């Protein structure tokens, strides 16, 4: 077996890289069907973790992801790929970026180089004679330089400003900008055998940035797609960014309109720094600033995202939010994603205060990435549904890894006037089948109601609850001072999964400890989150889909994401009150139609 020192610099070992693992056949067991979700994306086989390259191309949503196609363990990292028109029904595509002799294909992003500012795409024929330049037919890259020239105070013919004549960034002090690059011609391209591109006619197309990882070095690579994102061709003069570190990864690139440039956010993982770089042509990058160390202690910082989000109920008010994943080092254990709220001027991110937030009160949401090119700039993301503490030991064997539901993002002021992240599931209503009859109004103290739910099918439960006020809130055993309200999923084997609310402390808990399908030292059983102080009222949306549980509290102000492994399907839902009654409003219970073409228990 290879030693840990012969693997890329990560806080987890890549078991899939060990000798002999790829040749071991994965044994499919009943667990592979029982725990496979019906609406959450999972790979057909192998191991999946971080989402990559999330982009909407105008017709289809692309989901790229970290993928070991050979074994259900991390390692041999490629970019898997799937496409969808609704973010739920996915069509598997061929692997988009391969592991090569240059290293594994680590996390990254995809952007739409609509005008071919990179010069990577074959030049289009010019039919208008007026569209010429002193040096020949105008290209989209030259047009961008011409547009930028006045604001830069330079003539557009100045050599340093022309990307085709600029040298590539490199480490040599004698030639700090490397070698001249000539864009590929059509003759340089390998034959295209994939279906016709889905992108509309444009000068450019989809461009990927990702980390090539070896034990010695992690560098940022650029690649372009000739066929609308089905496959990517590496830029001839990669890497486009190399600072000589073996823990420098996960580029996220976006267009910053106010400063008129592309911005790359990338982490120096072990230094706990987020670095910002700028570019006008996607090939040549200039360091702008660093942020950190800041936030949580931890071993690695990973998968940064920077996005401008609206503040709810504050017209035209926005803030920039910087997301940084940490592994290990989360308060709940293992992997966690933290966020900072602040301002970004195109060069520096300045947090508004010293407060950090966590995206989740449980521990199975990590490495989130936000979609590019969304209509109306809607912020939608996926996160990896897992935790590095146990993701390679979960009971399903032939496949491992899933994505969260697609979620929208915004900001809202809480009762203490802090700006907090708000997350809501996107598009669930399109999956709803006929509602399950379950009329509930009042639940008296020491009583409850229950209903059967379909085994093996995803369900969505929504409700608003107000717990009665107790005149004498004294401690009352395990019933709570001011009463507790429970939502319990159970089965005939005596297993239960419960979500509860304690009215005295205004806190919500999640308990997966009574499920018998999986046990492991780091598989934490219970989680909790504070809600509105001194309030006996709360709302919940719960989605349960095989091994996936997602809880959205108070319209998404608190979110819990947890893997659940009962030994048998949970087929009963109960609502229970302890020593205080409760009023239930706005209750709805829907089965959700299956969208994933995978073998499941359903």
**Residue 14 to residue 19: CA distance in whole angstroms:** 11
Mean pLDDT, range 371-377, rounded to an integer: 95
Q: How far apart are CA 284 and CA 379, in angstroms?
A: 28
C-alpha 125, offset from chain centre: 39
Among the residue ranges 70-79, 159-168, 429-438, the one predicted with the least confidence is 159-168
Contact 336, 326 (CB under 8 A): yes
Cα gap 555→404, rounded to integer Å: 17
Report whether 499 contacts 559 (CB < 8 A): no
Burial class (CB in 10 A: 0-12, 13-18, 19+), 387: buried
Predicted confidence (pLDDT) per residue in 320-336, tens digit: 999 999 999 999 999 99
For residue 587, the model assigns a pLDDT of: 97
Count how many Cα atoms sit within 13 Å of the Cα of residue 140 in the half-sphere of its side chain: 21
For residue 186, the number of C-alpha atoms closer than 13 Å in the C-beta half-sphere is 3
Per-residue pLDDT at 136: 40
* Of residues 496 and 127, more confidently modeled: 496
Contact in structure between 404 and 561 (CB atoms under 8 Å): yes
Contacts (Cβ under 8 Å, ≥6 apart) of 529: 361, 507, 508, 553, 558, 560
> Which residues, in sequence order, are CB contacts of 235 under 8 Å at separation 6+?
120, 181, 221, 222, 223, 224, 283
Q: Is the pLDDT of residue 18 over 90?
A: no
What does the alpha-carbon distance between residue 91 and residue 195 come to, in Å, rounded to a whole number?
A: 13
Range 570-574 average pLDDT: 98
Phi, psi of 275 (to 5 degrees): -105, 145
State the SS3 of 240-285. Answer: CECCCCCCEEEEEEEEECCCCEEEEEEEECCCCEEEEEEECCCCCC
Q: What pLDDT does residue 316 have?
A: 87
Q: For 232-260, what is the mean pLDDT?
A: 97
**How do residues 506-518 score in pLDDT, each as one tens digit?**
999 999 999 999 9
For residue range 451-501, list pLDDT tens digits in order: 999 999 999 999 999 999 987 767 677 777 889 999 999 999 999 999 999
The encoded tokens of residue 274 equal 């987020």
332, 308 contact by CB (below 8 A): no
Q: Say if residue 243's pLDDT is above 70.
A: yes
Cα separation, 26 vs 366, in Å, equals: 25
Q: Which of 379, 382, 385, 383 is nearest to 409 (CA)?
A: 379
78, 69 Cβ separation under 8 angstroms: yes
Per-residue pLDDT at 221 exceeds 80: yes
Predicted local confidence at residue 14, as pLDDT = 72
CB of 406 within 8 A of CB of 87? yes
pLDDT at 33 over 70: yes
- Region 55-59 average pLDDT: 96
Q: How much is the pLDDT for 202?
A: 87
pLDDT classification of 26: cutoffs 50, 70, 90: low
Distance CA 434, CA 453 (A): 12
Question: Quick one: tokens of 112?
Answer: 């739409």
> What pLDDT is attached to residue 6?
60
Averaged confidence pLDDT in the chain:
87
What is the 8-class DSSP label of residue 418?
Answer: -
Q: Could you tell me the two tokens for 409?
A: 């993002």
Residue 60 CA to residue 90 CA, distance in Å, equals: 10
Cis omega (within 30 of 0) for bond into 239: yes
Give the pLDDT score at 24: 59
| Helix/strand/coil for 450 | strand
251-265, 269-283, 475-489: segment of lowest average pLDDT: 475-489
Average pLDDT of span 393-408: 97
Would the pLDDT of 5 be above 60? no
What is the pLDDT, as a whole number, of residue 274? 98
Cβ atoms within 10 Å, residue 259: 14
Q: For residue 547, what are the CA distances in angstroms to 31, 366, 396, 404, 499?
A: 10, 16, 10, 11, 16
pLDDT tens profile 150-201:
433 333 222 232 333 333 333 333 333 333 223 333 343 334 334 444 576 8
The whole-angstrom separation of Cα 315 and Cα 26 is 54
- Look at 143-157, 202-216, 443-457 and tell me which has the smallest mean pLDDT: 143-157
In the chain, what is the straight-line distance between the N-terminal and C-terminal CA atoms, in Å? 39
């Amino acid at each position: 077996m290879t030693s840990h020192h012969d693997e890329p610099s990560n806080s987890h070992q890549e078991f899939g890289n060990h000798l002999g693992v790829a040749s071991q056949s994965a044994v499919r067991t009943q667990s592979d069907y029982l725990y496979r979700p019906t609406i959450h994306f999972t790979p057909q086989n192998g191991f999946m973790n971080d989402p990559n390259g999330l982009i909407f191309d105008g017709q289809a949503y692309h989901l790229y992801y970290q993928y070991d196609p050979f074994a259900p363990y991390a390692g041999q990292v490629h970019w898997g790929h799937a496409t969808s028109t609704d973010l739920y029904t996915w069509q598997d595509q061929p692997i988009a970026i391969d592991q090569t002799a240059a290293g594994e294909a680590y996390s990254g992003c995809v952007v739409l180089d609509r005008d071919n500012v990179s010069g990577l795409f074959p030049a289009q024929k010019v039919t208008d004679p007026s569209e010429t330049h002193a040096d020949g037919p105008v290209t989209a890259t030259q047009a961008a330089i011409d547009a930028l020239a006045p604001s830069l105070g330079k003539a557009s013919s100045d050599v340093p400003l022309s990307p085709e004549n600029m040298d590539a960034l490199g480490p040599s002090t004698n030639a700090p900008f490397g070698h001249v690059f000539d864009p590929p011609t059509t003759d340089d391209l390998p034959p295209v055998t994939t279906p016709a591109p889905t992108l509309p006619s444009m000068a450019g197309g989809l461009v990927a940035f990702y980390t090539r990882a070896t034990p010695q070095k992690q560098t940022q690579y650029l690649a372009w797609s000739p066929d609308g994102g089905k496959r990517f061709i590496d830029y001839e003069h990669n890497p486009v960014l190399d600072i000589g570190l073996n823990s420098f990864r996960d580029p996220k690139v976006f267009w910053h309109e106010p400063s008129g440039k592309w911005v790359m956010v990338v982490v120096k993982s072990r230094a706990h720094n987020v670095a910002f770089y700028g570019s006008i042509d996607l090939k040549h990058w200039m360091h702008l600033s660093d942020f950190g160390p800041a936030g949580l202690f931890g071993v690695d910082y990973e998968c940064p995202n920077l996005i401008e989000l609206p503040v709810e109920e504050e017209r035209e008010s926005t803030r920039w939010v910087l997301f940084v994943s940490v592994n290990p080092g989360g308060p709940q254990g293992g992997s966690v994603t933290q966020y900072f709220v602040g301002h970004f001027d195109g060069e520096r991110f300045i947090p508004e205060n010293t407060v950090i937030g966590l995206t989740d009160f449980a521990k199975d949401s990590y490495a989130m990435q936000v979609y590019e090119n969304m209509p109306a700039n809607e912020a939608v993301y996926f996160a990896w549904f897992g935790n590095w503490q146990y993701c390679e030991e979960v009971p399903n064997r032939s496949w491992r890894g899933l994505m969260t539901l697609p979620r929208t993002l915004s900001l809202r002021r809480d009762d203490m006037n802090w700006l907090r992240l708000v997350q809501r599931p996107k598009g669930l209503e399109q999956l709803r089948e006929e509602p399950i009859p379950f009329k509930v109004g009042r639940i008296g103290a020491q009583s409850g109601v229950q209903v059967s739910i379909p085994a093996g099918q995803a369900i969505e439960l929504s409700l608003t609850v107000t717990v009665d006020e107790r005149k004498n809130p004294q401690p009352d055993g395990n019933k709570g001072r001011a009463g507790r309200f429970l939502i319990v999923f159970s089965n005939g084997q005596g297993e239960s999964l419960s979500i509860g609310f304690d009215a005295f402390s205004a806190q919500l808990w999640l308990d997966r400890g009574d499920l018998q399908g999986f046990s492991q030292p780091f598989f934490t059983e219970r989680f909790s989150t504070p809600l509105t102080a001194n309030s006996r009222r709360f709302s919940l949306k719960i989605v349960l889909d095989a091994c996936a549980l997602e809880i959205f509290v108070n319209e998404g102000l608190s979110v819990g994401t947890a893997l659940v492994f009962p030994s048998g399907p949970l087929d009963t839902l109960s609502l229970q009150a302890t020593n205080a009654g409760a009023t239930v409003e706005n209750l709805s219970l829907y089965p959700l139609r299956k969208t994933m073409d995978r073998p499941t228990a359903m």
